[in-house]
Structure 1
Amino acid sequence: MAFTRRLLTPALLILTLVAAAPPTRAGASPTTSFTAVDIASHDGTVLKANVIAPTAAGPHPAIVFISSWGLNDAEYLAQARAFAEAGYVVLSYTARGFWSSGGRIETAGPADIADVSAVIDWMDAHTAADPSRIGVGGVSYGAGIGLIASAHDARIRAVAALSGWTDLIESLYADQTHHQQAVWLLKLTAELLGQPSDEFDRIVDDYFAKRNIPTLLAWGAVRSAETYLPGIRANRPAILLANAYGDSVFGPNQLVEFFGALTGPKRLELSPGDHAIPELTGLAGLPNHVWTSARQWFDEYLTGADTGIADDPVVLRVRGSSTTEAATETYRDWADVTGSTNRYHLGDVPWYDRTGPLSPIAPTQWSESFHAYGDTVAGAGVVLLSNGLEALTGNPPSAWVPAVDRGRGAVWETAPLPQGAAVRGITRLHLTVRPGAATGTVIAYLYDVDALGVGKLVAHAPATWTSGGTQAIDVALPATAWDVPAGHRLSLVVDTEDGLYLDENAFGAAITVTVPSWIDVPMR
C-alpha cells in the first residue's frame, strides 16, 4: 500500500498545487483556505474530509464531493476551489475504507449511503451551507454513491453523477458474462489503497470462481440506483448523468435506461473515451466540457441561475476526433437520437472469401460454423487504456478484418455505403446459435471498415449461454455516436474470446450460427 501511495503522491500534489494557486478568473469571490476535518459518521466511523467556502456571510449553496474508488478527498481540490470561488460551500470526503478514512470498503452499500447523510448533517452544523440547496457530485464510485443517496435523503436537490453506474449487475455480469479485467482492477485497487470488507472479498472470490451467482445478483441490486428509483422519483433531485461510450467498467446502456425512467429534471451526456477519462482533465483544473456541465447544472438547480443547460436533456459528442474537437449534438429526449433503424440480415458465407453478406433481404436456410480454439484479431482492447486513448486521439481499437481466422470466428459485411452512415443509439444483434457444448460465450464486434479492410471498432458486446440446445441470443451493443465515411462498409465479427471477459467455452467446441439472425443498426 505504501508503495502505491508513493506512486500516487505526485498526481495528488499536482492537484493540490492547482487548487492552491491564486484565483485567476475575473470576478472570483474570496474563499477560505482548505481545512481538513474529521467527520464521525452514523456508526462512529471517522471520514477524512476537506472544506472550502466563500468568506462572505452565508447561507450558501453547498456541494458534497465523494471520492472515486481508490482516491481520496484531494481528488476534487481544483474543482472545489472553483466552486467555492463561485459562492459554494464545498466539502469533499474520502469514502469509508479507503486511505485514512475509517471502516472497511462496503462498495456503495447501506453504510456508504448513510455516510452521505452524516456528512450533510455535519456540513449543516459546522458551515454556512444552506440546507435547502445541497448538491452531491462525484466521479465513478462517488457518482454511484451520490446517486443512490439522492433516493434516501431529500435534502439532496441536485446530483452530478460522472462516469457512474445505475445497475451494478449490468456492469459486472451483463448477458451472464464475467467482466474479468474491470473486476480485477477494482479488486487490486481496493487491496492496495484500502481495507476491503469480508463481504467484498467473498463476493470477488465467488465472482472469479463463477459460483454463488444468486448471491452476487442480490448484492449488486442493493448497490444499484435503479433499485431505488421510487425514492429518487419521490425526491425529484435534478440529475446529471455523464459517461463515456467505451466505458469498460460501467457501460452506457444502463445510463440510457435509467435516464428514461427518471421523472424529474435530468440530463444525459455521452462522450468518447473510457471509464472516468472524459472528466480527467477537469480534476486538474483544466478546461473540461463535463465539469463545465456540472457547474452549469449546480448553478441551474442550486442557485436559480438560468444557464440554459435545461434546454438540452441529451448531449452526444460524436466519436472520431479528440473530445476537445468532437462535434456535439443535442436532443430533447433519447428517443430522438435514432431517426430510423436499418435491419441487416446475416446471410450464407461463401467458400471463396469466407465473408457473408449483411443484407436488408432475409435469406433462406444457411449456417456457418466456427470453433472455440482461441481468440481472433478482433478485440476490444485493454480496460481503461484502449478506449481511453480514443478520447485523446479519436482512434478506437482497430483490426484488419480480412485477418480474422474463419476457423475461430465468422464475418459478415454490408456492401459499401455510398453516403456513409450516422450510427446513433444502441445497436441490437439477434443470433440463432446451435452450440456444440452446454455452455458457451460469443463476442460480437461491429466495425467500420475501409477499402483496405481496416476496421475501426464501433461497438462490441459479449453474450453467454448456460444451457444446451439452439439458442436465440439477443445482444445490445453499447450506445454510440459514430459517423461511417462514404464508401466504407459495416462489418460484424463474431468470435469466442476477448481479454476483457471470462468466457464459458469448452475448448474446441463448435458454434453454428444460422437463420434467423440479424443486426439492427440505429441511424440518424
Structure 2
Amino acid sequence: MRRLPTLAAAALAALLCAQPLAPLADAAEQTGFTVRREAIPGAGGVTLDAKVVEPAGPAREPRPLLVMPASWAVPNIEYLGAASGLVHDSGYVVVTYTARGFYASEGEVEVAGPEDVADASRVIDWAVSHTSAGAENVGMAGISYGAGISVLTAAEDPRVDAVAAMSGWADLAASLYPNDTVSAGAAELLLGIGHVTGRFGEDLRELERAYREHRTEDALHLAPERSPANRVEELNENGTAVLLANAWQDSFFPPKQITDLFGALNGPKRLMLAPGDHATPEAFGAAGLPNRIWERATEWFDRHLRGVRNDLSDSAVELEPLNGSGWREYPSWEAVTTETGRFRLTEPVSDGWPRPETGELVEGPASDWQHRIDVGDPTLARSGTVMLSGLLQGFARVPVGVSVPLVDRDDAAVWSSEPLPSGGTVSGTPRLRLSVTPTGREVSLFAHLYEVGPLGKGSLITHKPITVRNNEPGVPSEVDLALQPVVWNVSAGNRLVLVVDTVDARYREEGRGSVAFGSSSTAPAELRIPFG
C-alpha cells in the first residue's frame, strides 16, 4: 500500500509530460517561429533547462516577453502548445523553464522559496539580453507550482506587469493544512511525484520529516514567505494585473484562499473558477487546444502587455457552475451572492423507524440542545478521492455521492432542510457555526453539504475540515467554519443536507472518544447558505 502514492505520482507525471514535440517543431518551420533549448543561469550558479519560443526574423522594436515556470514535477515542454499560439498569433517571446531541482534543471527543489523567485528574475534578465524581448512589457504565466512562482515573482520584481496564475495557491498553510487539519491525500501525492522527478532541498526534507512524524506545525514557518497572500501589498503597489484561475474541487489548492486573495487585490484582476480538479480546467489549453481559461489569459496579456483594447474589464469574476455548464460573469466576488439564507440547526431526533436521527435546517428561532456522536469511525459521508473525484465531476459531471439514510447516526450528525420548491443556486461561501465539546483535547470535524433527492441520494456540493486542538476536555468551544466556495444549481423539490462527522479519507483525523454539538439562544447553531 505504501507504493501506491509513488505509482500514482509516476503515472500522473507521465500524463502531464506527454506533449508531442515533433509536430510542434514542424509547425514552427511552417508558421514563422523558432523553438530552441537553452541553459539559462539561475540564482546561485544553478543552470535552468529552458525552451525559448520566438518569432522568426528581426524585430523593429522589443517584443513583449512571457516567462512560464513549469509545474511541480513537470518539465518545460508543458506549455509549448500554448506558447506556439502566443508567439504565432500575438508576437510574444516565450521562455518556459523547468524549476530548479526537477529533471535537467540543476539545484534542489525549494518549494517556491526565495531561490525560485530569484531564478524567475534571472530568466527575465537572460531573455532581455539574449532574445528580441524587451524589459518594458513582461508577463508571467503558469499552472500549479508555476502559478505560485509567477505571483511571488511579480510581487518581488516590478518588471512583471501581468500574471496569469492557474491552479495555484494563495496561502500554502491554508491549502495543505486547512483549519489545522493535514490534507494527507494531497501531501502524499505531491511528495510522491516529487521524489520520482526531483531532488529535495533541505526545507522540503524538513517539511516531509515533520509531516511523517505528525508534527506538521513545526514546518509551518516555511509557509508565509511562500504564500502570495502575504505579498498583496507589493502586488498592489506594483499595479500588477493578476488573473487567477482554479478548479472548484482542487485537491491541492482549494478555492477559498484564492477568492480571499482576489478580494485583497486592488489592481486589475480577474477570477475564473470551473468544474474539475487540480490543473484540469486549463490542461488542454497548455497543449495548445481550445480552452476558455487560456483564451482569457491571452486576452489578459494582450490588454496589459500589448495595449490591445479588448472587451475585458479591469475587474471581473467568471464562474462555471460545478454541476452545470455555461460561464457566468460578475463584476466582483461579492456580486456572486445576492441573498443569504440563515438556517438554524435543531436537535437531531428520530421520528421512529425507518427515519434515523436527523435535525432540521429551519429559519425559526434558536433552541437549546446538545447532541453527541462517537469520534474516529468513518461514515458514508466523504469528500471523495484526491484528483479522481474532481476529474469525474469536471469532465463527466459525476458528483461525489451518498445515501443519507444510510449514514450512521452514531458517528455523524445530520441536518436537513425542507424541500426547496423552486430549487435555487448555492452561490458563494457557506458558513457553519456551532458549539463543539470533545471528550479529548483534539477532535477533527468534517462538514459536508449535499443536495439530496426524494429517495435520500445526495450529491456533494462542498465541504471543509477543521481540527479543534488543545481544547480543555469537556469544555465547549465555538466553531465558525467557512466551507469551500461553490456555484451549484439545486433542482426543484430537493433538500439541502448537512452532515458532520469525524473521519474523511483524504485528511489525517485527530481525536478519540466522543464529541457533542450544541446550540443555545445566545449562541445559536446555524448554517448560512449564499444564494445567487
Aligned-residue offset at 1:307: 2.2
**Quick one: which amino acid aligns to residue 80 of structure 1?**
A
1:478 aligns with 2:470: no
Partners of 1:408 and 1:260 in 2: CA distance:
37
**Quick one: which amino acid aligns to residue 341 of structure 1?**
T
Match of 1:221 among 216, 224, 230: 224
1:520 is aligned to 528
Deviations 1:330-384 (A, max 9, x none): 1111111100110111102222221110001133222221101411101111111
> Structure 2 matches for 1:295-334, cutoff 5 A?
295-310=298-313, 313-321=316-324, 326-334=325-333
Give TM-score, length-normalised by structure 1: 0.94
**Superposed CA RMSD:** 2.0
Q: Conserved in 2, the CA contact under 8 Å of 1:180 and 1:208?
A: no
1:392 is aligned to 395
5+ residue gaps in structure 2? 1-5
The 3 A distance-change label for structure 1 pair 335 and 4 is closer
Aligned-residue offset at 1:9: 5.6
Match of 1:163 among 158, 167, 178: 167
The 3 A distance-change label for structure 1 pair 310 and 401 is same
1:102 aligns with 2:144: no
1:438 is aligned to 441
**Quick one: which amino acid aligns to residue 159 of structure 1?**
V
1:418 is aligned to 421
1:82 aligns with 2:85: yes
Q: Percent identity?
A: 37
1:372 aligns with 2:371: no
Partners of 1:109 and 1:237 in 2: CA distance:
20
The 3 A distance-change label for structure 1 pair 261 and 9 is closer
Q: Conserved in 1, the CA contact under 8 Å of 2:269 and 2:315?
A: no
**What secondary structure does 2:322 align onto?**
coil
1:40 is aligned to 41
Aligned-residue offset at 1:284: 2.4
Q: Conserved in 2, the CA contact under 8 Å of 1:203 and 1:216?
A: yes
**What secondary structure does 1:121 align onto?**
helix
1:175 is aligned to 179
1:338 is aligned to 337
Q: Conserved in 1, the CA contact under 8 Å of 2:84 and 2:288?
A: no
Partners of 1:392 and 1:78 in 2: CA distance:
21
**What secondary structure does 2:33 align onto?**
coil
Q: Conserved in 2, the CA contact under 8 Å of 1:496 and 1:503?
A: yes
Aligned-residue offset at 1:4: 7.9
The 3 A distance-change label for structure 1 pair 127 and 474 is same
1:31 aligns with 2:36: no
**What secondary structure does 1:386 align onto?**
helix
2:499 is aligned to 493
Aligned-residue offset at 1:14: 3.5
**Quick one: which amino acid aligns to residue 495 of structure 1?**
D
1:111 aligns with 2:115: yes
**What secondary structure does 1:358 align onto?**
strand
Q: Conserved in 2, the CA contact under 8 Å of 1:416 and 1:487?
A: yes
Partners of 1:3 and 1:403 in 2: CA distance:
31
Partners of 2:226 and 2:87 in 1: CA distance:
31
5+ residue gaps in structure 1? none
Partners of 1:21 and 1:158 in 2: CA distance:
30
Give TM-score, length-normalised by structure 2: 0.93
Partners of 1:500 and 1:3 in 2: CA distance:
15
Partners of 1:483 and 1:110 in 2: CA distance:
42
**What secondary structure does 1:310 align onto?**
coil
The 3 A distance-change label for structure 1 pair 336 and 82 is same
1:210 is aligned to 214
1:49 is aligned to 50
> Structure 2 matches for 1:178-327, cutoff 5 A?
178-211=182-215, 213=217, 215-310=218-313, 313-321=316-324, 326-327=325-326
1:131 aligns with 2:135: yes
**What secondary structure does 1:319 align onto?**
coil
Aligned-residue offset at 1:13: 4.8
**What secondary structure does 1:298 align onto?**
helix
**What secondary structure does 2:49 align onto?**
strand
Partners of 1:6 and 1:395 in 2: CA distance:
23
Partners of 2:309 and 2:464 in 1: CA distance:
40
**What secondary structure does 1:39 align onto?**
strand
Partners of 1:133 and 1:48 in 2: CA distance:
23
Q: Conserved in 2, the CA contact under 8 Å of 1:15 and 1:75?
A: no
Tell me how many residue pairs correspond in the alignment: 514
